[in-house]
Amino acid sequence: MAETTSRILSLLNLLQTHRQWPGAELAERLGVTERTLRRDVERLRELGYQVAATRGVAGGYRLEAGSQLPPLLLTDDEAVTMAIGLRVAATQGLADGEQTTLTALAKFEQVLPSALRHRVNALAGFVLPQTPRSQGSPVSQELLGQLALACRDRERIRFHYEAANGAETDRVVEPHTLVAASRSWFFVCWDLQRSDWRTFRVDRMSGFFGTRLHFDPRELPAADAAQFVQTALSSLHRRLTAEAHVRLPVDVMREQFGGWAAEAEPIDAETTRWPIRGESFETMLTSVMWIPAGVEYTLHGSPEFLAFAAETAARMRSAVPANSPLSPTPG
């Protein structure tokens, strides 16, 4: 009986980690006959797991969604990874992310063995996700789940996309990976219409549609997807650049700005050159708003950017009523 239970758990683990298994390969993995495999599949169905079976050369077994959530079988490492992931997810811009992930985490950690719970707590002390200063639109957890499954199953998908400039297109892609970076979720994929690798902001995607067409994996032109996204973001940010010369010693600025001053360089003992970048002049000026009140600075950049900054400053000055206690004193 113990051997049968162990084998059924092994079968469940295999079905959870692969989209579809040919019957012969699955039986070989488990070291049983195909007749025994069929009996084990029936036992899983009795426990509430929806295991679909198809006949023929391309047939096999696959685990499908059912009407209720059956227990998941996780290895120790998978359980720890899920618990850490739930802690991080609360800060990553998911719709209702904080409430949903924290309640899920409470349920999950309640059933963790003591040794694994200690590992989670120890690791969590050194996992410090950055809390974004600003975020785009919240990302649907349902859409993230659909994209993650498409990546796992190598299934071509379609979706509608609205770019930063407002242009709207319908895309057909081969999914690769989801990456959280720069306060947003990014989707890395091969764009069939462009015949090239692309990254898409998930909060700008809608109209997801799975085609049920599968593809052979392509080699990403980077060490990993995170590096690919970072390179794409760096290339985008380099399109619009400027500098703020801030009247602070570079050490003081780095202490006050933390990671945001990573590229700051000293001009002299009292002044620091701080590069500012963005997708638009508006986002570049948003960076300037983080310079502490009372700290002097000057802006340096293209004539277009400086003209935009001057116009924006004039509009903001005129927006403050003349009798406001915060309005500037006439010179």
Computed over its alpha carbons, how large is the radius of gyration of the chain? 27
DSSP SS3 for 99: helix
Average the pLDDT over each of 5-19, 32-46, 193-207, 266-280 and give the range with the smallest value: 5-19
- Say whether pLDDT at 244 is over 80: yes
**What distance in Å separates the CA atoms of residue 258 and residue 236, rounded to the nearest whole number?**
23
**Mean pLDDT computed over every residue of the chain:** 79
Task: Tell me which residue of 122, 139, 141 sits closest to 83, measured CA to CA.
Answer: 122
Residue 118 has a pLDDT of 72
Q: What is the pLDDT of residues 161-220, one digit of tens each?
A: 988 767 899 999 999 988 877 667 889 999 999 899 999 998 899 999 999 899 998 998
- Say whether pLDDT at 331 is over 60: no
Q: How confident is the model at residue 23 (pLDDT cuts 50, 70, 90)?
A: confident
**What distance in Å separates the CA atoms of residue 301 and residue 285, rounded to the nearest whole number?**
12
Q: What is the pLDDT of residues 267-300, one digit of tens each?
A: 999 999 998 877 778 888 888 888 888 899 999 9
Report the percent of the chain where pLDDT is more than 70.
74
Rounded to two decimals, the pTM is: 0.47
Residue 130 has a pLDDT of 45
Contact 117, 79 (CB under 8 A): no
List C-alpha distances in Å: 64 to 9, 42, 69, 197. 17, 14, 11, 30
- Say whether pLDDT at 49 is over 50: yes
Give the mean model confidence (pLDDT) for residues 94-123. Answer: 66
- Say whether pLDDT at 16 is over 90: no
Q: How confident is the model at residue 91 (pLDDT cuts 50, 70, 90)?
A: low
Contact 242, 295 (CB under 8 A): no
Residue 209 has a pLDDT of 93
| The dihedral sign for the CA sequence 321, 323, 325, 330 | positive
Surface-to-core class of residue 323, CB atoms within 10 Å of its CB (0-12 exposed, 13-18 middle, 19+ buried): exposed
Q: What is the pLDDT of residues 189-198, one digit of tens each?
A: 999 998 999 9
The CA-based dihedral angle spanning residues 297, 302, 305, 306, taken in that order and rounded to the nearest 10 degrees: 50
| Three-point CA angle 199, 205, 210, nearest 5° | 95
On the CB side of 177, CA atoms within 13 Å amount to: 15
Residue 320 has a pLDDT of 81
Q: How confident is the model at residue 132 (pLDDT cuts 50, 70, 90)?
A: very low
DSSP SS3 for 63: strand
